Amino acid sequence: MICHGISTGALFMIVGQIQERTHTRAIDRLGGLWATVPRLSGAALFFAVASMGLPGLGDFVGEFLVLLGTYQAHIVLTAIAAVGILASTFYGLRFVQGAFHGPNVYSWKLSDLMARELAMVAPMAAILVWLGLYPQPVFNTFRPGMDRLERVASQKSFVSSYSASQHRPRNLEEMSPSSAQRRRGQVQLFAAITNQCRAGACPGQGRPKGGPYKGARAGGGNAQ
């Protein structure tokens, strides 16, 4: 996200500088600007290829780590993200080719990057090169926070899995067919015993040694 913010912010700045000079942002009305504003065109090319994920620049490190982590969790989402990167690459190439290359059809005669504009663009380019070649200090800065997020996510995953293992079905629709059949049999047996007791012929009476289940079964057989 750091590199994306830098490269995209720089491109917005360059587009604003082009619009200030040409009073248009339409690619079709530009073309051939490299001959008249070479420093501005070179800066635009640098940040365009940076946003495409050129190896050696910061955006490549971020995109590579995102795709690597996503691939370990969901391959389909990784493929969709890769297609998105290709689409942004095609758009960036069209922007560079249409605005800066080709013949200068509209005979643009513009002023190149001034010292103030160069002072804003140069540090952003240097940061992208630094993060692309040596991103470890940024990783070390973010490591404690990422480790904490990983521990929290692991704890939540454990709690959710434990809750799922402790879940017990509460109705027949949530049960397996065998469990539902046993529950129906128990309910029917209990209803038969209750009806016999209401009629004054509880199956357990006169059978103290048989226990309630034995008496219930005997009573059920006599009732049938």
- Segments making up each domain of the chain, as ranges: 2-138, 174-223
Looking at residue 216, what is its pLDDT?
42
Q: Mean pLDDT across the stretch 212-222?
A: 45
Task: Please give the C-alpha separations between residue 170 and each of 127, 200, 213, in angstroms, as whole numbers.
Answer: 59, 33, 25
Q: Mean pLDDT across the stretch 73-99?
A: 89
Q: Mean pLDDT across the stretch 96-106?
A: 89
| pLDDT per residue as tens digits for the range 5-20 | 999 999 999 999 999 9
Looking at residue 172, what is its pLDDT?
47
Structure tokens at 207: 């059978």
Are 61 and 3 spatial neighbours (Cβ–Cβ below 8 Å)? yes
C-alpha closest to that of 194 among 179, 204, 184: 204
**Alpha-carbon distance 52 to 60, whole Å?**
8
Which carries the bigger pLDDT value, residue 187 or residue 102?
A: 102
Kindly tell me if the per-residue pLDDT of 51 is higher than 80: yes
Q: Mean pLDDT across the stretch 135-143?
A: 89
